[in-house]
Amino acid sequence: MSTRTILITGANGEIGHGLIDYLATHTRARVVALDLHPLDESLYRMCYRTVIGDITEMSVLESLSTGFDFDTIFHLAALLSTRSERQPPLAHRVNVNGTLNLLEIAVLQARLQGREIKFIFPSSIAVYGLPDLATKAQVGKIKEHEWCQPRTMYGINKLYTEQLGGYYARYYRQLDADERPEHVDFRSIRFPGIISAHTLPTGGTSDFAPEMLHNAAQGKAYPCFVREDTCIPFMVMPDAVRAITLLEAAPRDKLSRQVYNVGAFNPSAEVIRASTLKAFPRAEISFVPDLKRQNILDSWPLDVDDSAAQQDWNWHPEYDLERAFSEYLIPAITERYHQ
């Protein structure tokens, strides 16, 4: 196995934790981790180099690019949907301008190294926007090209940057006289809500599920900010990491598209509560909907059609709801809080 060098932005975030752990355990990759904040201690020893810096500052990225030859860039840094609604200009700076900067670095790296650089980009179900609950119920599973009318800053940022990645991969500087050898191999996944046993998200709108579970495990009452019947797709972190590493490893000629849905299960908030209560029967979970955040969730799809990912790179989730709780979430969360 050759030693690859991988840049991970937003390394200290939730997917960053899962991905760095996976790469350290299963590969010999040298991980260069970039984050705005110092990396958690548990991640330090798994990384080849850690850098504190802001992706909106091109000088930070240029100096990283001078120091390393990257094979792959996992660009995970982003402001999630709730936080983005509170600070739209900041969301645009980080989610859009930051991504543009990273794509420029990918081109620069491709030019310097004279080969293709992989650019792996997590997108989200937030790119979809259903107009009302009746339509949401009626359309059910959504395909990648359907209902791309996001109503959040985050969803709009992600939809645009998916397109930007496609442009960098296929049409970048298309008017230049000479064929440009530098190629960015852009691949993106639209993730559902993600639930990890080891970390909690910050600033997302699907956060109600992980918050419910982590609060229950700590014996804390949780007033859930959505209605019981709220339903969006979710997956657990091990499947999210599997999905993103499978997509990265897939042969280019097997990929029929640049952006893929991935799904696993789609429980209502009431079903998540019931599964949580099975493990923590004394948990106090009530439903106190925040109507504004609720509107965002109601505009996200009930489920996603991920048949393209199944066909092109053999995607199948390992965890359905039952297995997610019994074999991953409950044992790992119990260990985390009850040691």
Q: Which range touches ligand SER (CB under 6 A), out of 1-9, 122-130, 212-220, 281-289?
A: 122-130
Strand partners, 91: none
Give the number of other Cβ atoms within 10 Å of residue 2's Cβ: 6
Is 10 among the residues that bind ligand SER (CB under 6 A)?
A: no
> What x-and-dash track marks residues 66-85 binding ligand SER by CB under 6 A?
--------------xx----
Is 154 among the residues that bind ligand SER (CB under 6 A)?
A: yes
DSSP secondary structure string for all residues of 43-111: HHTT-SEEEE--TT-HHHHHHHHHH---SEEEE-----HHHHHH-HHHHIIIIIIHHHHHHHHHHHHHH
Q: Of 208, 312, 219, nearest to 267 (Cα)?
A: 208
Is 205 among the residues that bind ligand SER (CB under 6 A)?
A: yes
Q: Of 14, 9, 8, nearest to 206 (Cα)?
A: 14
Q: How far is the CB of 283 from ligand SER (least distance, A)?
A: 22
Is 150 among the residues that bind ligand SER (CB under 6 A)?
A: no
Is 126 among the residues that bind ligand SER (CB under 6 A)?
A: yes
Task: State which of positions 249-288 bind ligand SER (CB under 6 A).
Answer: none
Is 232 among the residues that bind ligand SER (CB under 6 A)?
A: no
Q: How far is the CB of 16 from ligand SER (least distance, A)?
A: 14
Amino acid at 77: A
In this complex, which beta carbon is closest to ligand SER, that of residue 47 or of residue 243?
243
Q: Of 235, 189, 243, nearest to 209 (Cα)?
A: 235
Is 193 among the residues that bind ligand SER (CB under 6 A)?
A: yes
Is 18 among the residues that bind ligand SER (CB under 6 A)?
A: no
Is 213 among the residues that bind ligand SER (CB under 6 A)?
A: no
Looking only at the bridges linking them, the beta strands covering 5-9 and 72-75 are parallel
